[in-house]
Amino acid sequence: TVYLHQRKTTLTEHPAIQEAASRLREGALIAFPTETVYGLGADAQNDKAVQSIFRAKGRPGDNPLIVHIGEHSQLSDIAAHVPSVAEKLMDRFWPGPLTLVLPSAGTVSDNVTAGLPTVAVRLPEHPVARALLQVARCPVAAPSANRSGRPSPTEARHVLDDLDGRIDGVIDSGPTGYGLESTVLDVTGDEPALLRPGGITVEQLERVLGSVTTDPTLIDNATDRAPRSPGMKYRHYAPQGEMTLVGGSEGDMVRRIQALADQYRAEGLKVGILTTEERKEEYRADVVVACGSRKALPTVARGLYRALRQFDDAGVERVLAESFPECGWGRTIMNRLRKAAGGRVI
Ligand code: TXA
Ligand code: MG
């Protein structure tokens, strides 16, 4: 582990960045902070290094990885061509939490793209990520640095909780900013299609694009179609206890959550409730976690994965989570909560 809290030199000259970058170039697995979540990086052109990402995470091989670059100019080596709509989006949102699915030039390892003709690319804005990518100079494949299925890591400690002994190092620069992953948008078709909501909201995309279609496999799990973003078919971000996402009008939601909590506790189960600052005093359960404020949804996003991990740390067996309105950040938060609940939504 390397700590970057007290820096005395420019980041690109920092010994920790220099060492991490050269280890990456030698084929090592290095976890690093981005503005969304911590990523587990490997040289995207090194087959063996990329394979070891899948092994360390226990990730299914058919789930492709995002390629991270430190400079815009690296894109021309990775994408076969860049549609004009992608140029517009990059001008507006790069560096930042927007991943674009583009036609692949076939220059990164086949394991990165899981054999697809497309490649997902992102230019992160976190200064540590950018410095690392700029010094390493190679494109870096990086999924979130968690064991597959677990909540993504927003702190270096979460990375080590999941992957200590399975990776070569982690750069610690404190908690990440957004707390949820990047938005994934496919720009290879006639119309841009949202594959995963994330740090750039649909409303922000619509201001640039007019309209955005949403991949049907993302809206609900009831379709038989294979998702265009293979990652969306897996249970994800999940605490170890069984989680239920509870909807309804606000008063109704609180009553239903408390009734279920009482019922589970009567069965002898350890119960956790996921709420916000506004209502944390209203519930009785073994563990009540207040995650941010409803008045500022980015604060809920920022704390969500840490909150889910807190239930695991406390050995909670049933988690009951409040719902949020499905717009702006609420849409991203609800997408992650539905996945964490494995579709148990009432
Ligand atoms: O914020 C983020 O995006 C973080 C940080 C580390 O950058 N990374 C991340 O990676 O969330 P990961 O592997 O956890 O999620 C990547 C998502 C998956 O849902 C995957 O299926 C999708 O992107 N994806 C990757 N390549 C794709 C492609 N060629 N076509 C469609 N979906 C793709
Ligand atoms: Mg992930």
CA 307 to chain centre: 15
Each residue's pLDDT tens digit, 314-334: 999 999 999 999 999 999 999
Query: Beta strand pairing status for 271-275 and 318-322?
Result: parallel
d(CA 48, CA 221): 33
Give the residue among 274, 267, 269, 258 at the shortest CA–CA distance from 310.
274
Helices (H) and strands (E) in the chain, counts: 12, 15
- Say whether pLDDT at 16 is over 90: yes
pLDDT confidence of 127, banded at 50, 70, 90?
very high
- Say whether pLDDT at 8 is over 80: no
Each residue's pLDDT tens digit, 293-309: 999 999 999 999 999 99
Q: Which long-range contacts (CB under 8 A, 24 or more apart) does 10-14 make?
A: 11/127, 11/128, 11/130, 11/131, 12/131, 12/134, 12/135, 14/131
Each residue's pLDDT tens digit, 233-289: 666 778 889 999 999 888 899 999 999 999 999 999 999 999 999 999 999 999 999
d(CA 293, CA 316): 23
Q: Which atom of ligand 1 is nearest to the CA of 59?
A: 13
Return the pLDDT at 170: 97
Q: Which atom of ligand 1 is nearest to the CA of 142?
A: 6
In sequence order, the 6+-apart residues with CB closer than 8 A to the CB of 325 are: none
66 within ligand 1 shell (Cβ under 6 A) = yes
d(CA 181, CA 62): 19
What is the Å distance from ligand 1's center to 16 Cα? 26
Query: Which residue's alpha carbon is at the smallest distance from atom 13 of ligand 1?
Result: 143
- Say whether pLDDT at 221 is over 50: no
In sequence order, the 6+-apart residues with CB closer than 8 A to the CB of 297 are: 324, 328, 329, 330, 333
pTM of the model: 0.94
Each residue's pLDDT tens digit, 140-171: 999 999 999 899 999 999 999 999 999 999 99
